[in-house]
Amino acid sequence: MVTPLTYEILLALADAPRHGYGIIKEIEVRAGADSAPSTGALYLALQRMESEGLIEESRRRPAASEDRRRRYWSITARGRETAKAESERLAALVAAARRKDLLAGDMA
């Protein structure tokens, strides 16, 4: 089991390497501006995830038009496995919820 923020970050990085701001934009677009973590919380999570081997720094460098200070982060094989396991766990939970008529969208 991983924290919701860890899962959000893994999800954001699943398709492409992103920098910190990119991760936040991705979360904002997907889940709304209120769901994005504070910048401090994001980097606290990034530091932990890097030390746990879930993400690593990508070789991609910021484009000339971008802020030079940016770093791109990409998901590791271990991170991808973790995200998969968590997704399956969540999917199982959702399936269980559906069976018990807890998912409004299914009523029709």
Partner 1 sequence: MSRRVVRWILALAPRSFQDRYGDELLSTLEARSSGPRGLRSGLREVAGAAWLVIRLHLRREHRLSEAGGARGAWIAAAWQDGRYAVRMLRRNAGFSTAVIAVLALGIGATSAIFSAANAYLFRPLPFADPERLVTVFETNPEFGWVDQTAAPANLLDWREQVEAFADVSGYTEFTDELAALREGQPVIVTGTEVLGNFFSTLGVPAALGRTFRMEETWLGEDDVVVLSHDLWVDHFGADPDVIGRRFEFANHAPEIVGVMPPGFTFPDRDIQLWYPMGFDPAAATDLSFRRAHWVRAFARLESDVSHAEADAQLQVVVRRLQEEYPATNAVMGAGIMPMRDFLTQDARTSLGILLGAGAFLLLLACTNVANLLLVRASERAREVTLRCVLGASRPRMVRQMLIESAVLAAVGGVVGLALGWLAVRAVSATAPMGIDGATSVSLDWRVALFTLGAAALSGLVCGTAPALRAGRDGTDGLLSDGARGSTAGRAGLRAAAALVSVQVALAVLLVVGAGLMARTFWLLQRVDPGFRTDGVLAVQFALQAPRYGSRDDVLGFYDRFAEALEARPGVERVGTVARLPLDGRSWSSQFIAEGWPPDRVGIEILHRRADPAYFEALDIPLLSGRMFEPGDRLGPQPLGASPGRGVVLVNETFAREYFPGEDPIGRRITYDRAPGPRSIWYEIIGIVGDQQQESLARPALPEVFENRDQDWGRNNWIVVRGAGDAADLIEPVRSVLGELDPLIPIARIRPLETVRTESMVGERSILLLLSAFGLAALLLATVGIYGVTSRAARRRTQEIGIRMALGARGKDVERLMLARGLAAVAVGLAAGLAASLIATRALSSLLYGVEPTDPVTLGAVVALLGSVAWLACWVPVRRATTADPLAALRSE
Q: What are phi and psi for residue 52, nearest 5 degrees?
A: -85, -5
C-alpha 12/C-alpha 55 separation (Å) is 11
11 or 46: CB nearest partner 1: 46
43 or 102: CB nearest partner 1: 43
Residue (of 100, 105, 16) closest to 55 by Cα position = 16
Q: How far is the CB of 56 from partner 1 (least distance, A)?
A: 12
> In sequence order, which ranges of the chain are alpha helices (DSSP H)?
4-13, 20-31, 39-51, 77-99
Q: How far is the CB of 21 from partner 1 (least distance, A)?
A: 4
Q: Which residues contact partner 1 (rule: CB under 8 A)?
A: 19-21, 24, 37-44, 46-47, 67, 69-71
Q: How far is the CB of 80 from partner 1 (least distance, A)?
A: 22
61 or 89: CB nearest partner 1: 61
